[in-house]
Structure formats: C-alpha cells, structure tokens
Amino acid sequence: MAYFFEEPSHTFDEYLLIPGYTGPDCIPANVSLKTPVVRYNKKKGETCPLTMNIPFTSAVMQSVSDDKLAVALAKEGGISFIYGSQTIENQAAMVARVKAYKAGFVTSDTNIRPEQTLVELVSLIEQTGHSTVAVTENGEANGKLLGIITERDYRINHCAEGAKVSEYMTALKDLVKAEDGITLEEANEIIWKNKINQLPIVDKNGNLMYLVFRKDAASHTEHPLELLDAEKRYIVGAGINTRDYMERVPALLKAGVDVMTLDSSEGFTEWQKRALQDIHAKWPEAKVGAGNVVDADGFRFLAEAGADFIKIGIGGGSICITREQKGIGRGQATATIEVAKARDEYYKETGIYIPICSDGGIVHDHHVTLALAMGADFVMLGRYFARFDESPTNKLIVNGSYVKEYWGEGSNRARNWQRYDLGGKKGMAFEEGVDSYVPYAGSLHDNLNTTISKIIHTMCNCGVLTIPELQQNAKITLLSPASIREGSAHDVIVKNSIKAN
C-alpha cells in the first residue's frame, strides 16, 4: 500500500512566529544575517568556505539571473545563479563579466580622437548621454589617453567652425590621473583632495583603463555587505544540468565561478548523483548544490552523493504548473521543515553541516523569515527579483501599469527541457511553467533593503540576533483559516491601502 503522510502539507502563509523576549542588546543594528552556503565539517571546528552576508540567492532563470542582476545582488551581500539554459560560451561570458566588474571603475563608453571636431563631440554626447568624454589616440575606450573633455570646457555657439577637440580638452599634462591597481577608497581620496569630478585610471603604458567618477566613489560605503572573493571580485554562481556538465563546469570554473547548482525541478535522481560524483572527482575544488527535493529521503540521497547544499521545493514557484501537470510536489513550509530535520540528523551523525535553500513560493517578505526559522539557511527567489530594474527582461506598460516580463524555465518561451531531464533520449513533451508579467517594483537595492529591514525587526521581536539563533529558538504556530483572515486589515474601510510584500 502507498505511504500516506500523516499531516497535510502546508505553505508559509499558514504560519506565524510568536515573539520571544527582546533584551536590551537585541536591536536591529546588532543583527547579522550571515549564513553558510556550502557544506563543512562543523564538528571538527572547520569554518564554512563560502558564506553570504544576506540569505538571498536569485533563481537560475533566463528572466531573472544574468550578469547585471548578479552584480547588483553581490553588492548587497547575496549570490545570483546565472541561468544555464544558454550556450556554455554565453554563460561563461556572463560569469567572466561579473568577475571582471570593478565597482566604481567604469569603462568609458564615450571616447573621441583629438583631431575630431566639437560638432562630432556634441553628436557623440547626444548618442551616449554621457558628457565626460575620454580623448584617446585611437578614439577607443582603452586607447592611449591624451586628455578629457567635458561640457564645461567649451561653449559650442562660441567656437569657430571646425574647432577641434584638442583645442578645448584638458590635456594629459594637466590631468590628475592614477595607475591601475589602486582601490576605490584610494581613488576617492585623490578625487576629494584634487577637487575633481573624475579620475582616469591608466595602465603602465598610459592606456586608459577606467574612469572613476566622484558620484560612484562612495559605492563601498553604500554597500557595506558586498560579497567579495579573496581578490575583491564579486562572488557569483551558475546553474548547470545533468547532461553537458563535463563541458560546462570547466568553462564556468575557468571564467571564475564561485559556486554552481544542478538546476532541476526534481533532484532525487540517479542523474544528479552521477553528476555530483563526476564533478567532484574531476574538480575537487568545485562547489555544487543539488535539488530540488521535498522530503528527508531526497535530502539524504543528495547529501550522500556529495551535494554542497540542497535546494527544497517542487511546484511552489509562482510561474510553476508542475503540480497541475504532473501531480508531484509538496507545500513549501512542510517540505522545508522536514528537510531541515533531516539535515540536523545528518549533522548529528556525521558532523557535516549541509546548508539548505528554500526555493520558490516566497510571496511576502515575512515568508523569508519563516523559511529561515523553519531551518533554511537561505532562500532562492525568482518572482521577487524579476520585478526590479536589474532583471534582464523588458519593462512594459500593461493596463496602465508598469510590469516586467517573467517566465518559467519550463515554459515554451524558455524551453529549458534539460531541467526536467529524467534520462533517455526522449525530449520534454509538455510545459511545467508559464509566461507572465510581474508588477515593476524599482531598484533591487531599495526593495531588498526594505525586505531585510523587516526580517531584522522580526528577528528582534523573536529575541535573536543571528540566523542560527532564529533556527534554534523560533516559536512557530500554524494558523486556522479564521486566524489567517484576522491577519490583515478587516472590518474597516481602508483609505490608502498599504500592500504588504
């Protein structure tokens, strides 16, 4: 006879946290959201080799995680997993772009040669919208630097016809410049001391490398939690599949990827086990997560196969129709609770701590706090990030409101059939995801800060200062349908309704 779980499966909306004692030191400024990403032997006193400063990762999806979003999220302290449903070359190039990105160091996109005319200069400025122009020998971004010209250097109506850039630019001999290798803080100092608006950075041969602008120089102060590797490059992840990993993994490692995850709708499979074992045998330094699973058996299987972290969630994603199409899945809260228990048992037995990630189905900000309290070390979000300026999709107006496009990896639009690979030659025959819009919400920085602020305040209400303390001490209650209704404004006529995220 089939096995029946005794309890129905629940989702985050059905739970609340009960406050604990809040001591005088339990204030938002003292809360740390630092969290482990990959397995480590905690009992032996090892430290986790990869941690995040906030428990947020972005989904392995075309409509969510490209290099632009990856930089924006790493600035805040989290990790993007760049989508794998693209060629190996393109994915590796995205990873390489994140690793090459230097906050505050801009590759100049508006460049001119000294013998060009001011009329040409004005038309160039109109095209790019940038009024600080690097003058280089060949007019290229990395050409030999000869000067800088800005709109303040000339008055076009007062200039002779055919006037040349060289006559009006600030020439190299009068420019304050710096050599490549300096830090943003050092560049900042030079900018302030010399009262200049931009600082060109050149290589040993005098070729232009970057411009640092006064307005960007404060980037680090604005992003105190930014997630950097030992060489001060942004940390980035990438999704892989169970088919071409022997070619994809080395390309991603070469590009500098820090962590990868097998991206699949269902990970309790021989294919994931083989991929984990093959990858770890060939590249022992590679960090590879696996999933998704929704119960203790799935967790144990992937833990023993060597997964560095394990993702939880089947059918809960906002664009997901897996449950309707195939009848598999489980309420996200119940799945997280059971997998967290299995993770704790595994740790007791082996001393090895395997971080777990609650993936999909986060609708409100407080769902993140609940997922953490239930034992998740971090969450993975698609819809949430798809709404921001930095996501790769189009911003449109639909029915008078700004929206962004958001589609599932299992939709006809993404056609990521490898994600649903169950072996054999036959391709995928039906969709497991939809193509949709999400309300446009503005910048990642502003939205994430609000979400984090809510999490931190809730943690103070619960009397805890860290995620492990929350996991240990949280008191969680299941709600009746009537108490769920009681939870939002009721029996009043709301004037300016505030929509909770």
Positions annotated as catalytic residues are: 320, 419
Sign of the Cα torsion 178, 184, 189, 191 reads positive
Q: Which is nearer to ligand IMP, 275 or 462 (CB)?
A: 275
With CA atoms as reference, report the closest residue to 239 among 265, 263, 268, 267: 263
Examine residue 392 and tell whether it contacts ligand IMP (CB under 6 A).
no
Sign of the Cα torsion 87, 90, 91, 92 reads positive
Examine residue 318 and tell whether it contacts ligand IMP (CB under 6 A).
yes
Examine residue 298 and tell whether it contacts ligand IMP (CB under 6 A).
no
The piece of 42-50, 91-99, 235-243, 317-325 that touches ligand IMP (CB under 6 A) is 317-325
**String marking each residue 220-259 x if it binds ligand IMP according to CB under 6 A:** ----------------------------------------
The string of DSSP letters for 125-156 reads: HHHH---EEEEETTSSTTSBEEEEEEGGG--G
Among 35, 261, 265, 358, binds ligand IMP (CB under 6 A): 265
Among 307, 312, 372, 381, binds ligand IMP (CB under 6 A): 381
Examine residue 262 and tell whether it contacts ligand IMP (CB under 6 A).
no
Examine residue 317 and tell whether it contacts ligand IMP (CB under 6 A).
yes
- Scanning the structure block, which residue is given the tokens 């790493």? 74
Count the neighbouring beta carbons within 10 Å of the beta carbon of residue 171.
13
**String marking each residue 399-428 x if it binds ligand IMP according to CB under 6 A:** ---------xxxx-----------------
Total residues at interface with ligand IMP (CB under 6 A): 24
Distance in angstroms between the alpha carbons of the first and the last residue of the chain: 43
Pinpoint the alpha helices (H) of 283-364.
296-305, 322-326, 332-350
List beta partners, residue 228: 234
DSSP 392: S
338: tokens are 């059971």
Helices (H) and strands (E) in the chain, counts: 16, 24
456: tokens are 């931190």
Q: Determine the residue with CB nearest ligand IMP.
A: 433
Binding to ligand IMP (CB under 6 A): which residues in 12-71? 59, 61
Q: Shortest approach of ligand IMP to residue 363 CB, angstroms? A: 7
Examine residue 380 and tell whether it contacts ligand IMP (CB under 6 A).
yes
- Name the site residues for ligand IMP (rule: CB under 6 A): 59, 61, 265, 313, 317-320, 322, 359-362, 380-384, 408-411, 432-433
